[in-house]
């Protein structure tokens, strides 16, 4: 299995609080991605990174920010969590073009 660790694995928090999810990889892959998975929607891309300090928006980026200060870590931040952001969040990594993505085991986030 690809070396991807997501933390925390589960989190319950209240509306309006900031939340940061961490994705850590040991593969030295260039590309990293954050997705959310909701029933009836499959996986949707939030943000992605194509190198240190290089990030871009995905399909559902509103309300989320990311940072990548070193190759191995990609952080996803919800500045002020809302109930609509309750979801399962997956991080993925990829080496180069036309290569598959490898996924972490997800973070289940509940916002009350």
Which chain residues interact with another protein by CB under 8 A? 4, 31, 33, 35, 40-45, 48, 50, 54, 56, 58-59, 90, 92, 94, 97-106
Q: Which is nearer to another protein, 85 or 90 (CB)?
A: 90
**One-letter-per-residue 3-state SS of 61-93:** CCCEEEEEEECCEEEEEECCCCHHHCEEEEEEE
Please, what is the minimum distance in Å from the beta carbon of residue 58 to another protein?
A: 7
Decide the pairing of beta strands 42-51 and 54-57. Answer: antiparallel
Please, what is the minimum distance in Å from the beta carbon of residue 39 to another protein?
A: 9
Residue with the two structure tokens 């073009």: 97
| Distance separating alpha carbons of residues 37 and 23, to the nearest angstrom | 16
Torsion sign, CA atoms 48, 14, 7, 86:
negative
Please, what is the minimum distance in Å from the beta carbon of residue 49 to another protein?
A: 8
Q: Which is nearer to another protein, 17 or 48 (CB)?
A: 48
And the tokens for 3?
Answer: 């070396």
Q: Which is nearer to another protein, 56 or 79 (CB)?
A: 56
Please, what is the minimum distance in Å from the beta carbon of residue 73 to another protein?
A: 18
């Amino acid at each position: 299995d690809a070396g991807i660790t997501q933390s925390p694995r589960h989190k319950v928090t209240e509306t309006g609080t900031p939340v940061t999810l961490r994705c850590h990889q040991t593969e030295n892959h260039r590309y990293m991605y954050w997705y959310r998975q909701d029933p009836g929607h499959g996986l949707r891309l939030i943000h992605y990174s194509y190198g240190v300090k290089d990030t871009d928006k995905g399909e559902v980026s509103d309300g989320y920010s990311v940072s990548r200060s070193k190759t191995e870590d990609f952080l996803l931040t919800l500045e002020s969590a809302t109930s609509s952001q309750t979801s399962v969040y997956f991080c993925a990594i990829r080496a180069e073009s036309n290569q598959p993505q490898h996924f972490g085991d997800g973070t289940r986030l509940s916002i009350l």
